[in-house]
Structure formats: structure tokens, C-alpha cells
Amino acid sequence: MKKKVWLHIALVLMVTALLGLIACGKKMVEPEPQVSAPVEDDAQKRAEEAEQARLEEEARRKALEALIQKEQMAEREREEKMAALHEFLSDDVYFGYRRTTLDAQGKALLKRKAQWLKANPEVSIIIEGHADELKTRLKNLAMGKRRAGEVKSFLISEGVPRSQMAAISYGSERLATSERSRKARQKNWRVHFSVDTYKGLELP
């Protein structure tokens, strides 16, 4: 009887051990899953990064081209303004001998100048009256003053703001020519223009 009991116990232990061995075998056979990024994901990421770099480089190139174009346009605009200013300053208004009133030619010239001044309110000018050296210094200054005042009054009548102009007389201090012939001295019976300020434009 005792022998049967021990055999029964031994059989139970053997079955239990066998089941344990089977379970361990299954664990050894079944590999644990490994987590790794697919190769396709890495390639896609690299492609996206390359495309982003290309887009950024394209944006930088376009920004640089736009900046260069803007600078070129600004330079052309400056050159055009300087050319127009030079044309405005190059033409003097001339008067007759000991005269301070404008003739038809002088009025026509001043009409064109008035149009340019009204179109360019950022420019302020100085109207310079001149005379020859045949009279006294005070008389020559007075002559230049009347000539400059005549020109300023005409420009005002054409719609140019007073604040855009200033008048001054140099008399015979800044002669266009020192020749004494009557024909040469006519070059001194004039009003010349110079720039006081030109906002937004750097003058040489």
C-alpha cells in the first residue's frame, strides 16, 4: 500500500517536471519581438529633409534676387532724379541790361521750372540774383535782389509754395564771366538756381 502511494507521488512529480520543461521550451523557442524603425521611414525622412533644405535655399536665392533688383531700381531712380535736377539747375534766367522784369523767354522757362518744382515738393531751392560789376557793390546787390524777387514772385504765381524757395542776391560777387564786352556781360544779368535740400536723395 505504501509502495503504491510513493509511486503515485513520484508520477505526479514527474508529470509536473515534464510540464515545466515543456513551458520553458516554448519560451526558448518563441523569440521576443524587436522594435526598430523600418528602412522605408528613414529614407522618407531623409527625402523630406532634403526637400526642406532645397526649399530654404530657393527662398534665400529669391530673396537675394529681389534685394538686388530693388537696389538696381533705386539706383536707376536716383540717376533719373539727378539728371532731372541737373537739367533744372543748368538753365539760368537772363535779363536785359539793368532790367529786373522777365521777358517772354524767361517766363516760358520759369513755367517749366514751376512744373518740375510742384512735381518734386521734396526739393527746396535757392534763387540767386546776379549782376555785372559796372555799378557799385550796393547797387549790384540791389539789382540781384530785385531779379531774384521777380523770379520768386513768378514761381509763386505758378503755384510753387513759398516754403520751397529762398531768394538771395550775390550782386557782382559771383560773375559768370569777367569779360568787359557788352555781349559777354549779358551772361551776368541772370538768376541762377541751386539746391537747398533734397529729401531722400544724397547729393554729391
pLDDT tens, residue by residue, 91-136 = 999 999 999 999 999 999 999 999 999 999 999 999 999 999 988 9
Q: How many CB atoms lie within 10 A of CB 113?
A: 22
Judged on CB neighbours under 10 Å (0-12, 13-18, 19+), 175 is middle
Q: How many CB atoms lie within 10 A of CB 132?
A: 24
Choose between 162 and 64: higher pLDDT: 162
Strands (E), the chain: 93-94, 123-130, 165-171, 190-198
* pLDDT the model gives residue 33: 54
**186 phi, psi to nearest 5 deg:** -60, -25
Verify that 74 and 155 share a domain, yes or no: no
CA neighbor of 191 nearest in space, from 137, 127, 143: 127
Verify that 77 and 128 share a domain, yes or no: no
* pLDDT the model gives residue 194: 96
pLDDT band at 88 (very low <50, low <70, confident <90, very high): very high
- Asked which of 60, 90, 120 is the last residue of a domain, the reply is 90
Verify that 139 and 159 share a domain, yes or no: yes
CATH number at residue 158: 3.30.1330.60
Q: Measured in Å, how far apart are the chain's first and last C-alpha atoms?
A: 130
Verify that 125 and 149 share a domain, yes or no: yes
CA neighbor of 171 nearest in space, from 135, 121, 202: 135
**155 part of a folded domain:** yes
pLDDT band at 174 (very low <50, low <70, confident <90, very high): very high
* pLDDT the model gives residue 2: 46
User: If you average pLDDT over residues 49-56, what whole number do you get?
Assistant: 88
Verify that 128 and 187 share a domain, yes or no: yes
| CB contact at 8 A, 143 and 135 | yes
**16 part of a folded domain:** no
| 98 backbone φψ class: left, alpha, beta (φ>0; ψ -120 to 50) | left
Q: Print the domain residue range for 54.
A: 49-90
- Asked which of 90, 123, 141 is the last residue of a domain, the reply is 90
Q: How many CB atoms lie within 10 A of CB 94?
A: 19
Verify that 56 and 143 share a domain, yes or no: no
**18 part of a folded domain:** no
Look up residue 116 and give its three cell numbers.
518740375
What is the domain count for the chain? 2
